Structures are given as C-alpha cells and as structure tokens.
Structure 1
C-alpha cells in the first residue's frame, strides 16, 4: 500500500451518517457533512479515499463494538469521531462512565497516527423538558475537551457554534441538522483542516414570527410525526439503525469532479432510503 495514501474514515451515529440532509442519489438516502468534507478533500488533493462507518441511533458502546476495529484496520490518515449524543438522551446514563468509555474509544484511534477530530455535542433546544439534560451535556463536553487535549486531537467545538441557534439549521425532528446545518458543519471542519472551500452560511431573512395558532399546530405536528414514534421505538427497544448498514463501509476513491454522486452513478451502487 502506498505510503502517500490519503484515507478519511468517519465514525459515529446519525450526526455523521448524514441524517437530516436527504439525497435520494446516495446510500441510505442522505448526504451529510462528512460526505461534503470528503468531496472537498478530493477536490483540493485528488486521491483521497473515504469510508463512513456511522449508523443512526448507535450508542457509544455500539460504535466501539462495530466500528472501532474496522476503522483501525483501514489505516486512516484522517479520522472524525462523534459519539455519545444518543447516550446523553438515555435515562440513567452515567456521564463519568460514558467519558471513560469514550476515552477507551479515542485511545486506539489516536494510536494509529492519523489526524483525529473530536466533536462536542450541541445543546439542542427541542423542548423545555430536555433542558434538564443541559448539565449532563456540559459535563460530557468538558470531558471531550479534556480527552481531545490529552490525545492531541483537533476539537470541533459544536457547542460553541452560535449559528445553530437559528431553528432553520435543524430538521423537522428538531434533533438532527438540516441540509444548511450539515453544510455549515462541513465548512467548520474544512476550516480546521485548512482545506479551501466556498461553503458559506446561508444568508436568510429574519424569521417571521408565528401566531399562537401556528405555533400550536406546529407543536402538534411535531409530537405526532416525531415524538410519539420515537417513544414507541423506545418502548419496543428498537432503533432506526437496527439492520441498517454503513453508507460507505469500504473505502472509495472520491472523484475530484462530480463527487460521490458521480461515483454512485458510475459504479451502480445502491441508494435505497431506509423506511421510517
């Protein structure tokens, strides 16, 4: 294998898989910030390979069990890891234990010699009930910052990105970034990597205030479409990631022109969108 091989491997859950950024032409029906980063890397320096092992709904223990060994075996030169966000939302999660498990996940990734990027979590303002999780998020993020410093990783401080205070950066479920949110995240990662790009935050008009009736209708729709199905899955102990494969399990050479969509078209790769 060439010593000059450039290989980017992404690990994680729905955040890294690309949920919230729909694209029917790509595997699992989504695109996401990691795909966008891979394409800009290849455009800047042709020859980059890309694997994305992330699967929606995965907890940190799943990422460690299902993605870690594979990632190390791929001998990457660049790694991104986002893990723990789903654990934070689970009742009874011990943040100190979660951080201990997180460090055990980071250590072998850092030992590969690859450049490692770690992410803090964002304080998603979904509903007042979830504000109770803010302290848990803060403790987790402080731990991620400490671990990034200890292992020489690059920190992507998602928590500090004020752009995500705009609700248009979020999808209809209010938990996953929208297409605009994924684009902006890609720009932040590329800036940290020193890769040139033209990705910019969308210049929106100020949001139009909603009437109480509009707000109430929106709340009822959100509860019906997203909250109740999520509660039902928790009761049944199933997730949207069950039996769902990673989007890019085998490294692919990203075309400098046309990107991953061109690769899918030329190689005839599957693009089926998972059901709800």
Structure 2
C-alpha cells in the first residue's frame, strides 16, 4: 500500500466550494474544486488511503486564512501531507489592495509549511471580472496577484495553478447565477487543472465553447437586485458573508476512490 495522502484546503469561498450544487447526476459528496480534487487524488492513487479536510470559509481575507486556518491545518492529527492555498480574491476588492504587502506573509507561511515536510500548492483566485461591475479593475488586480503568486511558486518550487488566467474560465458557462462563484462545471475544471499540477495527472481536457446568449435588461436588473446590492450592503456595513460560519470539513474525512461527479 502507498503512503497515505492527507489533503487539507485553506482559503475563502472559492476553496469552500460555494456554487457547486452538482450537475444532472446530483451534488458530489465532496463539493467544490477542493473536494473534487480530493476525489481525483484517490482515483489517481488507488493504493493510497486518502483523507480530506477543508478549513476554508467564505469572505475570509488573506490574513484571516494565514492567521487562523493555517494554524488549524498544521494542528490536524495526523499531520497533513498536502495543503492547498487559494486566497486574496476578497483582498483585491478592497481599496488598499497591495500584492507586495500580501505576498510577504504568504512567503513566511510557505517557509513554515515546507519546514514541516508538507507539500504546499498555490492557486490564483478565479477571475469573475468578465461579467461584473468594475470588471477591468478586478481583472487588472487579479492578474497582478496571479503574477505575484506565480513568482512565489517559482522561487519556492511549489505547484501552482493559475486559475485567474485560464483562457476558458472567464466564460459564462463556468459561473453560477451570482457571477462571483463558479458552478459545478467550473469547479470541476479547476479540480482537473489542480490534479494535473499536483499529482501529474493528464492535462485537463479542453472544454467546448458553449457561448451563452447575451443577457437581456430584465435579467441584468434582477442580477443587480439579487446579488450586487446585497454585496454592496455588506461592504458598507463591514459585514462578511462568512460571519458566524465555520469550516465544512474541519477534521479528516476518508475519500472514496470513485469520482462523485
């Protein structure tokens, strides 16, 4: 039997798996790209016991991920063998966004994880800018953050999945109704990209371009009412969608070797 794989994800709503409600076959037992990655790891390594934990919580800034979730990940017993980090997407929506100021504490965290003999993989956040207000600003900041993450990964020889600049994931068919979180199709593509980078699995298949019809005015008005205005309200009142929430898989969960999607 191969060595056990104990994989834990840390991050924000993207790693938590928001938007992945499943496809026609139903929601997966381990939703989100991180859960789908865990299932993929079990399929690629059928002789290795695979366990999964997910400490990501929606709305978290990078500092909260490093200060709270990383400590919890390193405190798991037995210790993890793999940690994925994906955060910064909420930070780049803040006026004070500075990639250099964010990358410094992350590099310190990388050193801490590697010193424990644990693999550490980086992912850039998904880029929802194509269909959002202020999309150009979000895209430019996302590219800057992805570049900083890529440089860090190269310096430290870490697996890196550049989700932000994937040439397919900007398309509408990968996103849920709120246009901010990926749907099941988007999460599965990210899982495939991560499995290739982390476990040397075959490259993710090229998706078919199924361009959606242009949104009509009533649909746009409904989107702003149901999704944009509540988001603005949280910013004004300094609330987070993750307030009061805790991790969905805080302890080790055995992973089946057959995919759930």
Same-fold call, TM > 0.5? yes
Which secondary structure does the structure 2 equivalent of 1:234 belong to?
Answer: helix
Distance 1:244 1:142, change over 3 A: same
Instruction: Give CA deviations for 1:106-157 in whole Å, capped at 9, x if unaligned.
Output: 2212322222210123442233523123333233222111111122211101
Whole-angstrom distance in 1 between the partners of 2:206 and 2:181: 17
Aligned position for 1:125: 130
- Whether contact under 8 Å (1:180, 1:201) holds in the other structure is no
Distance verdict in 2 for CA 1:145–1:18, change over 3 Å: same
Q: Which stretch has the larger CA shift, 174-183 or 124-133?
A: 124-133
Show the counterpart of 1:217.
218
Partner of 1:40, secondary structure, is helix
Q: What do the CA deviations read for 1:173-221 (whole angstroms, capped 9, x no partner)? A: 111111110011111111223465797565464433x3xxx52112101
Taking the aligned partners of 2:147 and 2:259, their CA distance within structure 1 comes to: 39
Query: How far did 1:66 drift?
Result: 1.4
Count of aligned residue pairs for this structure pair: 253
After superposition, residues 1-276 of structure 1 pair within 5 angstroms as 4-22=3-21, 31-45=31-45, 46-74=48-76, 75-123=79-127, 124-127=129-132, 129-194=134-199, 196=201, 200=205, 203=208, 205-208=210-213, 210=214, 215-257=216-258
* Partner SS, residue 109 of structure 1: helix
Structure 2 counterpart SS, 1:162:
coil
Q: Which has the higher helix share?
A: 1
Does the CA contact (< 8 Å) of 1:17 and 1:56 recur in 2? yes
CA RMSD of aligned residues (A): 2.7
Contact 2:113 2:119 in 1 (8 A): no
* CA spacing shift, 1:13–1:128, aligned 2, 3 Å: closer
For residues 62-108 of structure 1, give each alpha carbon's deviation from its aligned partner in whole angstroms, at most 9, with x where no partner exists. 11121111212232211110011100111222332122222233221
Task: Check conservation: 2:122, 2:160, Cα contact below 8 A.
Answer: yes
2:98 & 2:259 partners in 1: Cα distance? 44
> Which runs of 5 or more structure 2 residues have no equivalent in the other structure?
none
Which stretch shows the higher mean deviation, 6-15 or 94-103?
A: 94-103
Distance 2:133 2:218 in 1: 18
Contact 1:15-1:56 at 8 Å conserved across structures: yes
SS of 1:7's partner is: strand
